[in-house]
Chain A
Amino acid sequence: MIFVKPNTEKEAVYLLNNSNGISRILGGGTDVLVQMRSGIIEPELIVDIKNIPGIREINEINGGYEIGAAVSGSEFNNYPGLKEFAPGIAEAFDLIGSSQIQGRCTLAGNICNASPAADTAPALSVSKCIVKIVGPNGFREDLVSNIPISPGKNSLKKGEFIKSIIIPKRPPYSSDSYIRFTPRSEMDIAVVSAACFITLDQNKLIKELNISLGAVAPIVVNVTGINELVINNNLNDDLLSQISIICSSSCDPIDDKRGTIEFRSHVAGVLAKRAIILAHSRAGDKIEKIAR
């Protein structure tokens, strides 16, 4: 096994592109090290990207934020203003692992590991976040939603790695939320999860409402057919139960040790409802704040 810690993107791409056999990027290492220790993978090359300039930085750009690929959960959640800007993404990121893991885990790693239960995947997808990718053919951008393609597999090509994640600028009176279901209160993995992004107008009418569900299909489910139903409406119980039903029927889960198909589908609808109520109240608070 070769371990390299390059100082430039170019060097990292070169190493990854020219390796034979299994290679892995080391950002936080919270998945890679566990997988190596339990014998799931035996990489021939490990490229630690933490020396690459900018990779551990958070920057405000165009009214949104660019999060370096090696920024940890605790760095993210302690960055002034970020939690208020995207509370749903912050709560999803914060749910990963223990305090110790929080010091290491990264958004890029969570996305590339491509677990159907990844906490940040629905939270980033629902806000239409973008990844910046470097590779042998230069830069490219893609939606976070397009990175995981099946459990444990991602769409990055040979030699490519994620450099940063963009959380785009949001309209006023927007907010987001993320709720997951776990049998335990922490140190657990999502059995079902739901993320919501909502935009209201000054009169609390819904302008946009996106729902993404986690752990109910091989990849994140971006639920369709909701905006048509809710646009220019006030949020009410009837709408919520309709959305809940749509969400439950959008699921394509499996029966496994963590939950049944029936359980996951039902709870997806319940969590979606709760995530909407939370995001809606956050967006509503902004209207009241400005009005004051």
Chain B
Amino acid sequence: MDQITPKAVKEFKIVGTRPLRPDGIDKVTGKAMYGADLYAPNMLYGCLLRINEPHAFIESINISNAEKLPGVKSIITFKDFLKINPDNKNNPILENCIANEKVLYDGHAIAAIAAVDLNTAKKALKLIKVKYKKLPFVINIEEAMKTGAPIVSVGKKNENIPDGYSDNVIQYCSFGNGNLEDGFKTADKLIKRTFKTPSVHQGYIEPHACLASMSNDGKADLWCCTQGHFNVRSICSNIFKMDNSQLKVTASEIGGGFGGKTTVFIEPIALALSQKSGHPVKIVMSREEVFKATGPTVSSLVDVEIGMKKSGKITAAKAIIRYEGGAFPNETYELGAQSAFASYDLDAVKTEAFNVLTNRPTQAAYRAPGAPQSIYAVESVIDELCQHFNLDPLYVRILNAAKKGTKSSYGPTFDDIGLKATLEAAKDHPHYNAPLKENQGRGISCGFWFNFGGNTCVSLNINFDGTVGVVEGNPDIGGSRSSISQMAAEELGISLDKVKTVIADTNSLGHNDVTDGSRVTFSVGLATIKAAKLAKKELCKRAAKLWGIDEDAVIWKEGYAHPAGANAGNQEPLSLEDIAKVSSQTGGPISGHYEVNAEGAGVSFGVHLVDIETDMETGHSKILRYTVFQDAGKAIHPSYVEGQMQGGSVQGIGWALNEEYIYNHDGKLQNPGFLDYRIPVASDLPMIDPVILEIPNPGHPYGVRGVGETSIVPPLAAINNAVSRATGIRFTELPLSPPRVLKAILNKQ
């Protein structure tokens, strides 16, 4: 719980305090409305028919028996979407929701039913007759890339793909600078290793849920659990050829997302079922559906080669990154290539990355998408080099750390960044020098994330009673409502209990980008502060009117309008409440609005330290101590910042130790449930100790830097390095599950 503030920054009254979360009581008493909690009159229940084959050609779907079942109100297949909009045949997001010609992964939906109750809908699913032909499939990255591999989808391959790969390799990119060959030549030691990470799911506790109601005149209402309802509106209005204004999307409270709720899976289906039946339709996914047909992040196969002088100086570094993102992968491979070496100031560096199709569920973003996998490989090789030269792993990282002015491996030159300060904080922390016992190891790793800004709108309304409503458009997934209220109160100079922040539907505010990229506290906060400044300007104007003086002769200070300047007079200062109460007589309600495509989010770095004990007889690794060091720029609500640092760490720990998508030889997922897909439970972990550093981000009025994602990046390598040091065996594949670790121990003996 330490907070390290290296230099004096702006004095704050409300920012930096830890008020109770505004959504807390409703959430713990069950009053909060999540995706599945809304009911509409005459509502139907929808469910989807999923095919348990990794790859199959759909020959026919016969719905006639299902349609006859009393209580069934509508059934849809991909053909219905083609009738709605012929362009839908080229829409990969829709094709992931409901298969067109081919089933592309185990659990791919091919039809959906809406009925008067869920039992009837499920009964009707069994009456749909499907004929399909099984096709050869491919699950594994390495196999998928080879020529001769079964092809998941043809015609997706970009022109820049080097020769010698199958058509599953669809995209390629490379970044870097300097002369690698010379760099490697001057190294005293070269280490090259190949690393693998499994697909892992975001594991949010709330399954996807939505309620859709479409009218005959083409208007629609959609209520859903999402990280970005404006994005849901864009995707769905595109599918249904609707004007944006005709589809109103309201975001429910959200029970976790971690990137997995940045796209749609069931929303277009519910809308189509509603359109066809004329009733509102609710769909709630089961946990098995969530595992099989939403999420996971990419699995990876990464080669890393690093050259180091015996002084610890890195002379050259190279990575070849291969990410598999299922049947419709996105741009994660590129983020992996860009982030791999971002923590280091290197003269010669190159990353290449390949994007690969497989018969697995379509990847969705997962907290710092693409960075954990490539950085895992890089940080593991650096640790092995440190061991080789018997060098202190923090010293080596400080020696090579990127700093202000470093031209990053992916192009941009860094401004003020907090990596070195973060590393030094770790070095000075008592954890770093605490003694270790037998079979215990200490691992460290750096982590990086870009952070984003993006399109943001905020309305700040001053009510007649002097309270303030902030209206923003980003679902609150990590405590943003509290942080935004704090920034509004701080800027206006009023107490926090006067401010309430709400999340508007898509018709009540301009477009807001998705809650992702650690953007919300930064971007929405920035827009809120600017909106508050505009409101203050208007408040001063009203005060001037009341006093009968010139507008420029009024200034705003600590919640009051004050007369200023030689001729302003000696009027008593007016509070925000005083001005608000009579605003009806001075020109009407007062508000401030700010719209921006925010830039200057500022990159984020973190350093993790972990102590692990490995049971040499069972291969089981126990986390003994875990400390997180991260630069928050300015922690608006430190408890939430700590929560982000702890939460990301725990997800990374799960990824490193036990979580993985397990497929059998039939290409079917073996563990679509929380029993065998093992996220850590509370008793598996010590208290994760967060250390917040505050190196103000010059791009934000209060210095805020996004903190949501970086924390999931270092745990993979930190744990890999700790287990490797505890056992004396270098590991290169995750998860470090007991069978894998025990096998290595027994092989060594």
Q: Does B684 contact A (CB under 8 A)?
A: yes
CB pair B671–A262 under 8 Å, yes or no, is: no
Q: A257 in the interface, Cβ–Cβ < 8 Å?
A: yes
Contact A181 to B670, CB < 8 A, known contacts A257-B662, A262-B743: no
Binary A-proximity of B19-60 (CB < 8 A = 1, otherwise 0): 000000000000000000000000000000000000000000
Task: Decide if B698 is an interface residue (CB 8 Å cutoff).
Answer: no
Residues of A contacting B: mostly = loop
Could you tell me the distance between the alpha carbons of A285 and B657 in the complex, rounded to whole angstroms?
Answer: 37
Residue A267 at the chain B interface, CB threshold 8 Å: yes
The digit string for B426-442, where 1 denotes a CB below 8 A from any CB of A, is 00000000000000000
**Pair A185/B683 contact, Cβ less than 8 Å:** yes
Q: What's the least CB distance linking A253 to chain B, in Å?
A: 12
Query: Which B-chain residue is minimally distant from A255 (CB atoms)?
Result: B739
A184-B658 contact, Cβ under 8 Å, with A267-B618, A270-B618: yes
A38 at the interface (CB under 8 A from B): yes
A244 closest partner in B (C-beta): B617
Query: In the assembled complex, how far is the CB of residue A261 from the closest CB belonging to chain B, in whole angstroms?
Result: 10
User: With A and B bound together, what is the CA distance between A267 and B675 in angstroms?
Assistant: 20
User: B684 contacts which chain A residues (CB < 8 A)?
Assistant: 184-185
Closest chain-A Cβ to B369's Cβ sits at a distance in Å of: 26
Nearest Cβ distance between residue B688 and chain A, in whole angstroms? 16
Q: Does B219 contact A (CB under 8 A)?
A: no
B742 close to A (CB within 8 Å):
yes
A247-287: contact bitstring with B at CB < 8 Å (1 yes, 0 no)?
Answer: 00000000011111011001100100000000000000000
> Is A84's beta carbon under 8 Å from chain B?
no
Cα-based distance from A258 to B676 in the complex (angstroms): 7
Q: Is the interface of B mostly helix, strand, loop or mixed?
A: loop
CB pair B678 A259 closer than 8 Å: no
Known contacts A188-B678, A263-B739; is A183 also within 8 Å of B670 by CB? no
Residue B746 is within 8 A (CB to CB) of chain A in the complex: yes
A259 to B739, CA, bound (A): 6
- A38 CB contacts on chain B under 8 angstroms: 288
Interface flag for A2 (CB, 8 Å): no
Q: Indicate whether A257 sits within 8 Å of B681 (C-beta atoms), given known contacts A262-B743, A270-B618.
A: no
Contacting pair B680 A184 (CB below 8 A)? yes
A186 within 8 A of B: yes
User: Is B737's CB within 8 Å of the partner chain A?
Assistant: yes
CB-CB nearest in chain B for A181: B618
Q: How far is the CA of A58 from the CA of B202 in the complex (A)?
A: 45
Minimum Cβ distance to chain A for residue B668 (Å): 11
Contact status B617-A270, CB under 8 Å: yes
The interface bits of chain B over 731-744 (1 if a CB of A lies within 8 angstroms of the residue's CB, else 0) are 00000011100110
Is B498 among interface residues, defined by CB-CB distance under 8 A? no
How many residues on A have C-beta within 8 angstroms of the other chain's C-beta atoms?
20
Q: Which residues of chain A are near B657, meaning CB under 8 Å?
A: 183
Query: Is A185 a contact of B681 with CB atoms below 8 Å?
Result: yes
Closest to B658 in A: A183
Is B620 close to A, CB under 8 A? yes
- Also in contact, A189 and B738, with CB within 8 A (given A181-B620, A184-B684, A257-B662): no
Judging by beta carbons under 8 Å apart, are B620 and A183 in contact? yes
Q: Across the interface, which residues of B come within 8 angstroms of A291, CB to CB?
A: none
Q: How far, in whole Å, are A212 and B657 apart by their CA atoms in the complex?
A: 29
Query: Which of B675, B738, B739, B742 has its CB near the most chain A CB atoms (within 10 A)?
Result: B739
Q: List B contacts of A186 (CB < 8 A).
A: 681, 683
Return B695 CB to nearest CB of chain A, in Å.
37
Residue A187 is within 8 A (CB to CB) of chain B in the complex: yes
Minimal beta-carbon separation of A85 from chain B (angstroms)? 27
State how many angstroms separate the Cβ of B613 from the closest Cβ of chain A. Answer: 13
User: Which residues of chain B are within 8 angstroms of A260 by Cβ–Cβ distance?
Assistant: 739, 743
Q: Mark A100-137, 1 if CB is under 8 A from B, else 0.
A: 00000000000000000000000000000000000000
Chain B residue nearest to A263 (CB atoms) is B739
Which parts of B322-340 form the interface with A (CB within 8 Å)?
Answer: none
Q: Are B676 and A266 in contact (CB under 8 A)?
A: no
Q: How far is the CB of B674 from chain A (nearest CB, A)?
A: 8
CA–CA, A259 and B741, complex, Å: 12
Residues on the B chain within 8 Å of A270, using CB: 617-618
Chain B residues with CB under 8 A of A256: 670
How far, in whole Å, are A42 and B131 apart by their CA atoms in the complex? 26
**Least Cβ distance of A255 to chain B in Å?**
10
Chain A 174-211: CB-based contact to B (< 8 A → 1; otherwise 0): 00000001011111110100000000000000000000
A258–B677 CA distance with the chains assembled, in angstroms: 10
B746's contact among A187, A188, A257, A266, by CB below 8 Å, is which?
A266
Q: Which of B618, B670, B681 has the most CB of A within 10 A?
A: B618
Q: Which of A130-185 contact B (CB under 8 A)?
A: 181, 183-185
CA distance A67 to B521 in the complex (A): 57
Docked complex Cα distance between A270 and B681 (Å): 25
Taking a contact as CB atoms under 8 Å apart, the answer to whether A184 and B678 are in contact is: yes
Chain A residues with CB under 8 Å of B737's CB are 183
Chain A, Cβ-Cβ closest to B742:
A263
Interface residues in B364-396 (C-beta closer than 8 Å to A)? none
Residues in A whose Cβ lies below 8 Å from that of B738 = 181, 183, 191, 259, 263, 267
Check A188/B739 contact, CB under 8 A, given A181-B618, A183-B658. Answer: no
A5 CA to B678 CA in the complex, in Å?
Answer: 37
A185 to B622, CA, bound (A): 10
Q: How far is the CB of A268 from chain B (nearest CB, A)?
A: 11
- Identify the closest chain A residue to B680 (Cβ): A184
Task: Give every chain B residue within 8 A of A267 (Cβ-Cβ).
Answer: 617-618, 738, 742
Interface members, chain B 702-744 (any A CB < 8 Å): 737-739, 742-743
Contacts of B746 in A (CB 8 A): 262, 266
Cα A232 to Cα B742 in complex, Å, equals 35
**In the complex, are the beta carbons of A257 and B676 less than 8 A apart?**
yes
Closest to B679 in A: A184
> How many Å from the CB of A35 to the closest CB on chain B?
13
Interface residues of B in 110-132 (CB under 8 A from A): none
Q: Closest chain B residue to A269 by CB distance?
A: B617
A183 CB contacts on chain B under 8 angstroms: 620, 657-658, 678, 737-738
Residue numbers in A under 8 Å from B680 (CB-CB): 184
Per the bound structure, the CA–CA distance linking A186 and B682 in Å amounts to 9
Q: How far is the CA of A191 from the CA of B680 in the complex (A)?
A: 16
Which residues in window 646-682 of B have CB below 8 A to A?
A: 657-658, 662, 670-671, 675-676, 678, 680-681
Q: How far is the CA of A134 from the CA of B11 in the complex (A)?
A: 77
B288:A257 contact, CB within 8 angstroms: no
- Bound Cα distance from A279 to B376, whole angstroms: 43
Q: Is the CB of A263 within 8 A of B743?
A: yes
Bound CA–CA A184/B684 (angstroms): 6
**B620 to A266, Cβ gap below 8 A?**
no
> In angstroms, how far is the closest chain B Cβ from the Cβ of A179?
11
**A273–B80 Cα gap in the complex (Å)?**
63
Mark out the residues of chain B between 567 and 597 whose CB falls within 8 Å of any chain A CB in the assembled complex.
none
Smallest beta-carbon distance B377→chain A, Å:
24
Give Cα A270–Cα B620 distance, bound, in whole angstroms. Answer: 12
User: How far apart sit A150 and B675, CA to CA, in the bound complex (Å)?
Assistant: 21
Q: Which residue of A lies closest to B663 (CB)?
A: A257
Contact with B along A219-254 (1 / 0, CB 8 A): 000000000000000000000000000000000000
> Is there an interface contact between A184 and B288, defined as CB atoms closer than 8 Å?
no
CB < 8 Å neighbour of A266 from B288, B658, B670, B742 = B742
Q: Residue among B617, B657, B658 with the most chain A CB within 10 A?
A: B617
B230 to chain A, nearest CB (A): 35
Closest to B122 in A: A39
Q: Which residues of A contact B288 (CB under 8 A)?
A: 38
Least Cβ distance of A94 to chain B in Å? 14
7 contacts between A and B (CB under 8 A): A185-B684, A186-B683, A257-B671, A260-B739, A260-B743, A263-B739, A263-B743
> A residues within 8 Å of B by Cβ?
38, 181, 183-189, 191, 256-260, 262-263, 266-267, 270
Question: What would 4 more interface pairs be, CB under 8 Å, given A183-B658, A262-B746?
Answer: A181-B618, A184-B680, A260-B739, A262-B739
Interface pairs A-B: 9 shortest CB-CB? A263-B739, A185-B683, A270-B617, A257-B670, A257-B662, A183-B658, A185-B684, A187-B681, A260-B739
